[in-house]
Amino acid sequence: MKETRKIEFGFEIFRIVVALAIAYGIALLCIMLISEDPFQAVYMFAVGPFTSVRRFGQLFGKFIPYLLTGAGMCFVYASNRFNLIGEGVYLMSGCLVTYAAVNMGDMGLPHLVFVLLLILVGALTGAVFGSVPAVLREKMGINETVVSIMMNYALLYLATYLVKTKMYDNSITYMASKQIPEDAKLTALISKTQLHGGIFIGLIAVGITALIFYRTALGYDIRICGANPKFAKASGINMTATLILAQVMGAVLAGIGGAVDILGIYDRYMWTALTNMGFDGLIVAVLSKKNPIFVPLGAFLLAYMRTGASILNYTSDIPIEFVDIMQAIIILLIAAEHFMGRYKEKLIFKASRKKNEGVA
């Protein structure tokens, strides 16, 4: 069994690399066909994120929240629920964290204590709002996808209302909150870039998620409930509580993601539309095959593609939507259980036969 797990682990990494290579090849072919200067376009997409410190920091500005939303969606994805409340929670967390930061700025709290309190606000935001679609689904059988999508827009409008009525800064010409106090912001690791201390919070969150998944009874229960509900019920697992808790934990991580993003990059709250960071967490979870260990890889790949597409957009004639081509192909190939499945079966069969020959 241990040898089989090693093969499956290594194979998943190999399968992701192959899917990326195929998607990359198709995308580069498209660039060469439609761009007036294909070689420059290919260079900017492939190497652009690493051509300057600012662009490299921009990549990590996306990577950090992807760590948190991706880890959160691993809980939801593993429980076999399609709860998308992470998007609304992410946005509302940024709003309430900013409100708390502005109103607590004069209290003279130590920097670390101040930041931890604000991250707690983000986590609580996730727990409160994330529990709504989860409870409605498990207690009343109401579709969590419909409820969460409706709530995403409700939370967007609620955040906009709070900015207009409670947080609006009259000294600026656009709709945004008052400035976040400097004591509340996460420390930049590289000056004038988006690489900040939130990366440690993200990596710690991924590590804790992996430990819960594979070293606790709760993680086992979540995975069993998602993979085989009938077996979970027959085993005496409290499915209602387990599935609610899985979705709430996912929302908590999305809330922390919103808090880290607003405190790490922005000087005020100014989100007037859905950020899509919560939705991107699902993409990271798919890229990671709902395995938290792979979340940093999935988060980095998505951040790299998004950053490369953004650079490509303002340095060439290729639209930013171009990255959707790669994204769709990668998700299709990785999500397809039978993609290269026969090769994996051959490897497992070969290892099993070798082991049996050794025993004989």
Residue whose entry in the numeric block shows the structure tokens 């051509």:
51
Residue 356 confidence (pLDDT): 63
User: Which of the pair, 263 or 14, is modelled with greater confidence?
Assistant: 263
User: Which of the pair, 81 or 314, is modelled with greater confidence?
Assistant: 81
In angstroms, the CA 186 to CA 191 distance is 12
Which pLDDT band holds residue 2 (cuts at 50, 70, 90)?
low
Reduced to 3 states (helix: H, G, I; strand: E, B; else coil), residue 168 is: strand
User: Which of the pair, 32 or 267, is modelled with greater confidence?
Assistant: 267
Model confidence at 330: pLDDT above 90: no
Within 10 Å of residue 10's Cβ, how many Cβ atoms? 12
Residue 5 confidence (pLDDT): 67
In angstroms, the CA 127 to CA 125 distance is 5
In angstroms, the CA 45 to CA 48 distance is 5
Residues 339-350: tens digit of each pLDDT: 666 766 676 667
Model confidence at 262: pLDDT above 80: yes
Contact between 7 and 351 under an 8 Å Cβ cutoff? The reply is yes
User: Which of the pair, 338 or 304, is modelled with greater confidence?
Assistant: 304
Instruction: For residues 27-47, give the mean pLDDT.
Output: 77
Residue 4 confidence (pLDDT): 65
Which pLDDT band holds residue 315 (cuts at 50, 70, 90)?
confident
In angstroms, the CA 176 to CA 166 distance is 11
Q: Structure pTM?
A: 0.88
Determine the distance from the C-alpha atom of residue 143 to the mean position of all C-alpha atoms in its chain, rounded to a whole number. 22
- At residue 239, what is the residue type? M
Model confidence at 36: pLDDT above 90: no
Instruction: Give the list of residues 6+ apart from residue 289 with CB closer than 8 angstroms, or none.
Output: 12, 334
Residues 173-187: tens digit of each pLDDT: 888 889 999 999 999
Instruction: For residues 34-52, give the mean pLDDT.
Output: 80
Model confidence at 244: pLDDT above 90: yes
Conformational region of residue 141, where left means phi above 0, alpha means psi within -120 to 50, and beta covers everything else: left
Contact between 144 and 81 under an 8 Å Cβ cutoff? The reply is yes
Residue 359 confidence (pLDDT): 52
